[in-house]
Amino acid sequence: MRNFFILLIYFNISWLNADPLVKMSQGILKGVTKKTRDGRNYSSFLAIPYAKPPIGNLRFSNPVAAEGWNGVRLAHTDADQCTQQVDSEIQGSEDCLYLNIHSPWLNFNSPKSETKNSKLLPVMVWIHGGAFVRGNSSLLNAGGAYLLDKDIVLVTLNYRLSIFGFFSTGDTAAPGNFGLKDQVLALKWVQKNIILFGGDPKQVTLFGESAGGASVSLHAISKASDGLFHQYIIQSGSSLCPWAYQKRSRLAKHAKKVARIVWCHFKQTEKLVACLKKKSVKKLMKTIRTFDKLSRFSQVTWTPTDEPITDGAFLTDSPANLIKQNKMKDLPLMTGQVADEGLLMTKYLYRSSKPYDLLRVAHFPLIAYTAKSFFDSKQAIKFTKAVDKYYFKSSIYKLSRSQYLEALTKFISDGFFLYPEVRLLETIEPKRKNPIYFYSFNYRGTYSRNANKDHKNLGVGHGDELSYLFPEPPARFESAHLNYAKSDEYIIDLMVDLWTSFAINGKPISKKLDHPNLWVPYTTKTKTFLEIGDINKKMDRKVTLSNSYYTERMDFWRQALPKVL
């Protein structure tokens, strides 16, 4: 009886303070009420533990489900981000496996009063990007949430990064993919608990961008993720991107190198892993400095890999082989890229002369580095020459700085993002029953993540579409969002419509378009895709259907890489 009155008092206090309370099997959770961009109230629960802290003996191990807590857990502030290096500073913590839930429901005692049709809401689970080395689950702290103006429940999550998330000895001692296995455990947590927050566990859309998009693409081919989501959105990344996967033999070489650096036994992998579990975070993070410059430049030292066939394995073959074997989940899919993905790497070269000069010297090694992701050494030489001729006219020293960087941006865009996406679609579409909605995001608004110091219009770079799905972080929010033009607001409304309608109905539609059902599925025959923004006038918000996706450039890659899949 005493516990009943305590619980009753908690719920009454929550109602008075407008702070939502949810009772779970883990314990009682107290969130906070926030407002969306359009002024709608929603409930926010931050830093909910879904796994035990992966420290001590749990470092370099598969995640273990979190335990419960006593009393009421305050869910008002973000958890630490997972350990990562930002510039020269190591930030975050190993104790980082938490997720956030944002729900339009406000009163969790009487859920039937929360929606017009008294039904559970579709769930959207976001996986952040960051090259598998950085990023976090914090998306809505700037206020003015966009997606929550619609009837969906949004989940965001942290997962282990860099050496802590993707270290591998190539065998069972440390098979790797720990960050991806964290995501799987978070998805299982969602299946078990999301109904308590107004979400429908039978209607989960998994979506992510960059490394998050690649993660989604990998979940689509992993048995470990079967039944954990029902449709998916892949943004600017796929499992066939050269930065999204490395063979375990390569990661095993990385592991031995790390062992030598930190003075651990490297001939017996079990002893190596036991030794590394005792090393400090700082010492392990510093090992990244010793890897080759091109690997560090493209930030793909530790990535997803294939594992030995064991219980709990996430990936037991290469993505290319699994896709050829038709292992990709036949669920509704929405996917696409931005127009100038390569600005991810080249935007810095517009700002500083020294990195630019160094890269000009490393021109051929950079192309060869990409080639090694697809070919053996003999074929790579031929490919390198073909790339130099097609993109750089075999005369890099005659090109001006702007000409060279424009060509380099196209090469990186095509090789690292666009062509892997095209090959994925061309391979899977003929074998599928469910639709694929393909897009190209070409709109360059008044704010861009890829502007240089003079705010020159460099193009539509990697991550630019995120500004129209999520509010900008506080540091950018005041200077960017408050100055959005009407065309930017239109793109926000359009993107939110398309993304949430896909999550709700499996079809992206928007009343912002003259024809709400304009976007039709991609097929290998029609090659139809949606252009969001004019590819030639990137500040024009025009939205059209097209069937010519960089045809000449993609034809070059089809000829240069005929046996990728």
Active site residues: 210, 341, 462
Residue 420 domain flag:
yes
Shared-domain flag, residues 315 and 387: no
Rounded to the nearest 10 degrees, the angle between the axes of helix 419-428 and helix 551-560 is: 80
Quote the domain boundaries for residue 230.
2-324
Shared-domain flag, residues 342 and 390: yes
Taking a C-beta distance cutoff of 8 angstroms, is the pair 195, 103 a contact? Answer: no
Shared-domain flag, residues 439 and 320: no
Shared-domain flag, residues 317 and 372: no
pLDDT digits (tens, 9 = 90+) for 463-507: 999 989 998 654 333 333 445 667 788 999 999 999 999 999 999
Shared-domain flag, residues 102 and 196: yes
- DSSP letters spanning 138-151: --STTS-BSGGGSS
d(CA 159, CA 152): 23
pLDDT of the residue at 395: 83
Nearest alpha carbon to residue 187 among 97, 111, 107: 97
pLDDT > 70 in the chain, percent:
86
pLDDT above 50 (res 233): yes
Shared-domain flag, residues 168 and 315: yes
Taking a C-beta distance cutoff of 8 angstroms, is the pair 47, 69 a contact? Answer: no
pLDDT above 80 (res 516): yes
- Range with the lowest mean pLDDT among 353-362, 470-479, 546-555? 470-479
SS3 91: strand
d(CA 314, CA 265): 27
Domain end: 284, 304, 324, which one? 324
Shared-domain flag, residues 341 and 394: yes
Shared-domain flag, residues 312 and 358: no
The confidence band for 543, taking pLDDT boundaries of 50, 70 and 90, is very high
Residue 228 domain flag:
yes
d(CA 48, CA 69): 11
Residue 150 domain flag:
yes
pLDDT of the residue at 488: 87
Token pair 């160094």 is found at: 358
d(CA 444, CA 453): 16
Shared-domain flag, residues 371 and 308: no
Nearest alpha carbon to residue 46 among 68, 75, 81: 75
pLDDT of the residue at 6: 43
d(CA 466, CA 333): 18
pLDDT digits (tens, 9 = 90+) for 204-213: 999 999 999 9
CATH number at residue 115: 3.40.50.1820
pLDDT digits (tens, 9 = 90+) for 286-340: 888 766 554 545 546 899 999 999 999 999 999 999 999 999 999 999 999 999 9
The confidence band for 456, taking pLDDT boundaries of 50, 70 and 90, is low
- Residues 368-387: b if buried by 16+ CB within 10 A, e if exposed: bbbbbbbbeeeebeebbebb
d(CA 209, CA 463): 7
Residue 565 domain flag:
no
- Burial of 293 from C-beta contacts in 10 A (0-12 / 13-18 / 19+): exposed
pLDDT digits (tens, 9 = 90+) for 7-49: 444 444 444 456 899 999 999 999 999 999 899 999 999 999 9
Domain count, the chain: 2
The H or E element containing residue 158 is none
Which is it for strands 28-30 and 333-338: parallel, antiparallel or unpaired? unpaired
Shared-domain flag, residues 318 and 400: no
